[in-house]
Amino acid sequence: MNIEDLISRIAKYISPKRLDHVKRVSEVAKSLALHWKVDSQKAEIAGLVHDIAKKMTPSYLVEKGVSHDKTFPKVFETYPNVWHAWVSPVAISHFLKLSSRDIASASKWHTTGNAKMSKLSQIVFIADYLDPERTLSSRSALTDIAYTHLDLATYCISAKALIQLVKKALPIHPYTLQCHNYYLTTISELDTKRVKSIILE
Ligand SMILES: [Fe+2]
Ligand SMILES: [Fe+2]
């Protein structure tokens, strides 16, 4: 896979600002993948393609030849922030001609997360949140956790995302809850206490 070629193809579908974001996410994902001994090229690619559908709509997809039932119009209406992630596997295969199921699923779960994600999916979920340009007061603590306890990092980010949604009065997708509840069961009570201040800040 020629990464430069992939980047220039992705650039046709997202804004320059978004392109910078996905490049940074891709770097973080690649570094985490190398650390956790996960396929780092898949992580790099998943980081690059995860927001491919950010500017798209169900009608745009239909116009470009995607069948209506693959465009999740209900999700678009009810969870507009989640939709671009849900439809990303379709967009990745339709527009970029990539067929990796692992990459498709890492991209699909990058916004809500899910219970029992693959390590690759957890890495992309975490990397998206840790975009170096995002202002995060807990950045160094969260980065530390991402390199030492993948499930705990997933739990923290899921809990922080939940709180943000409540603060902004946005609907909470059932998969966001599933992700939070599942990863809560994977960590110890001590770890839950340890990260409480990170989650609540
Ligand atoms: Fe996204
Ligand atoms: Fe993103």
For residue 190, how far is its CA from the centre of ligand 2 (angstroms)? 31
Asked if 98 contacts 92 with a C-beta cutoff of 8 angstroms, the reply is yes
Q: Which whole number is the average pLDDT over 100-119? A: 98
For residue 23, how far is its CA from the centre of ligand 2 (angstroms)? 10
Name the pLDDT band for 173 (thresholds 50, 70, 90): very high
Which residues have their alpha-adjacent CB atom under 5 A from ion ligand 2?
51, 128
Global pTM? 0.97
pLDDT tens digits, one per residue of 116-165: 999 999 999 999 999 999 999 899 999 999 999 999 999 999 999 999 99
Asked if 120 contacts 102 with a C-beta cutoff of 8 angstroms, the reply is yes
**Euclidean distance between CA atoms 163 and 73, whole angstroms:** 26
* pLDDT at res. 26: 98
- What is the identity of the amino acid at 124? V
Give the chain's count of helices (H) and strands (E). 13, 0
Res 167 pLDDT > 90 = yes
Rounded (5°) CA angle 173-12-106? 35
Q: Which two tokens stand for residue 177?
A: 């809850």
Domain locations in the chain? 3-200
* pLDDT at res. 2: 93
Res 201 pLDDT > 90 = no
* pLDDT at res. 161: 95
* pLDDT at res. 1: 80
For residue 196, how far is its CA from the centre of ligand 1 (angstroms)? 25
For residue 111, how far is its CA from the centre of ligand 1 (angstroms)? 6
pLDDT tens digits, one per residue of 39-89: 999 999 999 999 999 999 999 999 999 999 999 999 999 999 999 999 999
Length of the chain: 201
Q: Please state the CATH superfamily assignment of the domain spanning residues 3-200 in this structure.
A: Hypothetical protein af1432 (1.10.3210.10)
Helix 40-49 and helix 119-129: axis angle, to 10°?
50
